Amino acid sequence: MPARLPDDRPLVGRTVRLDRTLPDDAAGIFAALDHDEVWAAGYSGGQASRPASIAATARVIDAARSSGRAPYSVRLLRDSDLGEAGTIVGTEARGQSAAHCRPGLGDHREHHRVTPGAVAAPHVPA
């Protein structure tokens, strides 16, 4: 199947859904990613790139959306030890070209307590 460009449809998996990131998601993204473990591995440039506040996170979101990337907020589908259904637990971003729409490409990061792979393989509705 050929790759498709990202659009505004949600990507729904078994445990999470990915929705296009909106400026109102800044508080949830900041809460999910404001942990040393997230940035220590070099996510998005490492500690030097870590937003210091919700307002700084909102500016990062605006920059990503303005650059042509397709940022997504990763939300829980059901209550878990990470939070209630709808809680943001990570991010995912895809470039605006078909070459960057394959799973595994783009910037992504989950809450430091999310098991690697637990967010993988969302279903893309036709």
The per-residue pLDDT string of the chain (126 residues; one tens digit each, 9 = 90 and over) reads 666 656 778 888 888 898 989 989 999 999 988 888 877 877 777 788 889 999 999 998 888 888 777 788 999 999 988 889 999 988 887 655 444 333 333 355 555 555 444 444 344 444
Question: What pLDDT does residue 40 have?
Answer: 80
DSSP label at 97? S
Looking at residue 2, what is its pLDDT? 64
CA dist., res. 49 & res. 55, Å (int): 14
Question: What angle is formed at CA 84 by the lines to CA 114 and CA 25, rounded to 5 degrees?
Answer: 80
Q: What is the pLDDT of residue 56?
A: 93
pTM of this prediction?
0.73
pLDDT of 88: 92
pLDDT at 52: 93
Q: What is the structure's pLDDT at 94?
A: 67
**Tokens 């940022």 identify what position?**
71
Tell me, what DSSP letter sits at residue 11? E
Nearest to 92 by CA among 80, 76, 104: 104
Q: 18: closest CA among 94, 96, 99?
A: 94
Query: Tokens at residue 76, please?
Result: 């829980």
What domains, with CATH codes, occur in the chain?
11-110 (3.40.630.30)
Question: How crowded is residue 97: how many other Cβ atoms within 10 Å of its Cβ?
Answer: 11
